[in-house]
Structure 1
Amino acid sequence: MKQSNEKLKSMERTNYLVAAFFMVALGLFSRRFSNLLPDFISQHAGDMLWSMMIYFGFRFLLGGKKILLAMVGSILFCFGIEFSQLYQADWINELRNSTMGALILGRGFLVVDLVRYLSGIAIACLVDKLLICRKR
């Protein structure tokens, strides 16, 4: 029984890792091909997908912990990154001007990003509850 439970947890963690990488792929796609998407989606999808990736990353790292812990951790992480954009020192702005820095740290503080993060995390929690955790 214990071995079966461990195998299930391992498969679940793999699912979270795959989901995180899938969010990365969708997020990059939404940026690269934004001109092919409806305006509403191209404006909001990237940040929502980024926060979903963060959520699934937390679920992967936390293993079998509760969804609430991953949700709160994701919100704090995403909000922390967004509020860090209020800090405008030369060294961090130089990082933000690189492609990777912009993807991770963002460029400028926007209140609407906080709403996008909350929406993405809520969707990720729903997907988690309905698809991934349901297998238990």
Structure 2
Amino acid sequence: MRRNRVVYLILIIIVMILGLLSRKLDNLPVIVSLYAGDILWALMVFLIVDFVFNNKPILFNISIAIIFSYGIEISQLYHAPWIDSIRNTTLGGLILGFGFLWSDLICYTIGIFIGGIIESIFKRINTKR
């Protein structure tokens, strides 16, 4: 299945905006403000992987997204001046994060699997046409 890159680019932008809003809005329930940003970050990673590898199977893209997301989280265990200076920038903090949390791995898994499930549903709908 070849994915439409324009659609995926639009979805990436929407998910990025939602993720940033989840960190900025103060009136969200606590559980949403704690975990939605990480789930949406992982969904964005999945969509970017789909964008880059637009003709690969869903399971391949899920695997790449999980490896990348877990790798970023595990890298947060490493603290050296050079990488912490990158993390202290806005973009560096959004991409690399600051500290390792087991809950982030769970959120990443949820976000990536949400993307995989939605893509599987759309794939089935499109093959029935």
Report the TM-score, using the length of structure 1 for normalisation. 0.87
Q: CA shift at 1:129, angstroms? A: 1.6
Q: Using the alignment, how far apart are the partners of 1:133 and 1:55 within structure 2?
A: 19
Alignment partner, residue 17 of structure 2: 25
Q: Are residues 1:87 and 2:69 paired? A: no
Distance 2:56 2:125 in 1: 15
Match of 1:120 in 2: 111
Once residues 124 and 52 of structure 2 are traced to their aligned partners in structure 1, the CA distance between those partners, rounded to angstroms, is: 15
Q: Does 1:49 align with 2:14?
A: no
Out of 97-106 and 14-23, give the one that drifted further: 14-23
CA deviations 1:73-116 (Å, max 9, x no partner) are 00000000000001100111111111111100000001110000
Residue 57 of structure 2 corresponds to residue 66 of structure 1: yes
- Structure 1 residue 13: deviation in Å? 2.1
Identity of aligned residues (%): 39
User: Structure 2: which amino acid aligns with 1:28?
Assistant: L
Which consecutive residues of structure 2, in runs of 5 or more, have no partner in the other structure?
none
> Which SS does the other structure have where 1:36 is aligned?
coil
Bigger fraction of residues in helix:
1
Separation in structure 2 between the aligned mates of residue 14 and residue 103 of structure 1, nearest angstrom: 24
Residue matched to 2:6? 14
State the distance in 2 between where 1:133 and 1:57 align: 21
Q: TM-score, normalised by structure 2?
A: 0.92
Question: Would the aligned equivalents of 1:15 and 1:132 in 2 still touch at CA under 8 Å?
Answer: no
Deviation at 1:9, TM superposition (A): 3.7
What is the RMSD computed on CA atoms of the aligned residues?
1.5
Secondary structure, in 3 states, of the residue corresponding to 2:117? helix
Residues 104 and 21 of structure 1, relative CA distance in 2, 3 Å threshold: same
Q: Give 4+ residue runs of structure 1 displaced > 2 Å after superposition.
A: 131-136
Taking the aligned partners of 1:9 and 1:92, their CA distance within structure 2 comes to: 37
- Unaligned stretches of 5+ residues in structure 1: 1-7
Aligned residues: 127
